[in-house]
Amino acid sequence: MALFLAIYKKEGPYLCDMKSFDVPIIYRSPLISAIKKKRKEQDRMKKDFTPTLLDFGPLQISVARHFGFCYGVENAIEIAFRTLDQHPNKRIFLLSEMIHNPQVNADLQARGICFLQDTSGRTLIPFEELHKEDIVLIPAFGTTLEIEMQLRNRGITTEIYNTTCPFVEKVWNRSEAIAKKNFTVIIHGKPTHEETRATFSHAAVHGPAMVIKDMEEAKLLAEFIRGNRPMDDFFNHFSSQCSANFDPIEHLKRIGVVNQTTMLASDTQAIADFLKKTILEKENCEDLVADTRDTLCYATLDNQTAVRGLLSTPADLAIVVGGYNSSNTSHLVELCELQLPTYYIENAQKISTENSISHYDIHAQVERVTVNFLPSKRPLQILLTSGASCPDALVEGVIERLLTLVPDATTLDSLLKSYQA
C-alpha cells in the first residue's frame, strides 16, 4: 500500500481538480457540497484522511473524507447529457450502462437513450439495427477493440462520444508499453467486468495477455510458473482468461501486472508482489518482471484510503451507498465488513420508517432485509461513504432518512447553515 501511495503522490493527487463538470443538479447535494468544499479548503494537499463528523446530537454520522462522483464519472455524465441536449432528434445509444448506478442509468433511459448490451456483454439491440446517423456513446469503462471495429464498419463515429475514463486509458497505455517490451500482461480484475474486458482487448492486440481475478488464481498461476503443475492443465483453468495462441511455457517467463482500476489497491499490490517473488525464486532476474507501478485511479485510491481513515472512528455500524454492480463500491463494503456491521444500499428508500433495511449481500449476491438494524444506544454512531459512481444527492437522502429514525436529532437544515456560515 505504501508503494501505491508514493506513486500516487508523485504522479499527481490533484487530478480531481483538473476540470469542473456540468453535472445535472439532481445529482448534487447542498450539504455534501458544503462539506467537501470546507474539507478541500482545510486540506488542499489531501493528506488528511480523517472523516467529517456530522453531529446531530443523539445521531452522529462520520462521513468519509473522499467519496462520490469521480473525474471519469462526471466526465461521462456531462458528455451523455450534453449529447442528449444537442441532438434531440437523433437516436442515441449506449453500449451498456454509462456507469454502475441505477438512478443515473434510469435517468438516461428516461431521456430516450437505449442500451445495446447489458453489463455482461449480452446483446439487447443487435448492431445490425444501427445506422450511420445514429449516435453511440462509449461508457466510462471503455470498450473492446472488436466492438469499436464493428461500429466503424457501420459508419458510426464514436470519438466525440467516447466517455472512457482517462485513468482506464492509462492502464491501456501501460499495457501497450510493457507488451512492446515482450512482457506478458497479467490483468488483475473481474473477468466479466466491462472495464476488464476492454483492458484485455487493448492489451492482447500488442502481445500475450491474461486475466486473474484474485490471489487464489494468482497462487494457481504461480504453480504453473514454478512448473509444479503440468502445462497441459493450464487451459482447464484459464482458457477463457487468456489471449489467443497463449503459450504458458513461453509467456509466463516475463510478466507485468496491471489492474482493473477499481480493484482493492492492497489486493493488486499483494498479487503483483507475490508473482514477482515467484518469478525471482525461479530465475533470480529482476528484468523478467515489468515495473508497472500503480494503475489504480486517484478516486479509487482516495476512497479506499478514506474508508481506512473512517474505520479508525468508533461506530456502531457502517452504511455504504452505491449501485449493487459497482466494483469500486463493493470493495469499500469489503473493507468496512472487516470491522463492523455494514449495510450496502442503493438509496434511502432501502431504509424503512420501521427501522428495517434492505441491503445487498456481496458474498451471496442477494438483497437481504435486516430488522431493527439501528441499535437503541445513544448517541448512535454511524459511518457513511459511497462509491465513485454514486450521486451525492443519494448520500444526503440517506442522512435525511436516518434522521427520521432517531428522535430529537438536530435537523439537516441547521447543520447545513453551520457549514454555510
Catalytic sites, residue numbers: 195
Q: Do residues 138 and 161 lie in contact, with contact meaning Cβ atoms separated by under 8 Å?
A: yes
Inter-CA distances, 44 with 31, 47, 305, Å: 20, 8, 16
User: Nine-digit cell at 21?
Assistant: 463538470
Measured CA to CA, the distance from residue 165 to residue 107 in angstroms comes to: 20
Cell numbers given for 180: 512492446
Going from the C-alpha of 105 to that of each of 61, 77, 93, 189, 389, the distances in angstroms are 29, 10, 12, 23, 11
Q: Are 390 and 325 in contact (CB under 8 A)?
A: no
Residue by residue, DSSP assigns 329-390 as: HHHHHHHHHTTS-EEEESSGGGB-TTSEEEEEETTTTEEEEEES-S-S-SSEEEEEEE-TTS
> What is the residue whose three cell numbers read 439487447?
124
Q: What's the CA gap between 318 and 343, in Å, rounded?
A: 6
DSSP secondary structure, 192-215, as one string = TSHHHHHHHHHHHTTS-EEEE-SH
Using CA atoms, how far apart are residues 222 and 216, in angstroms rounded to an integer? 10
Q: Which amino acid is at 319?
A: I
Contact status, residue 367 vs residue 359, Cβ threshold 8 Å: yes
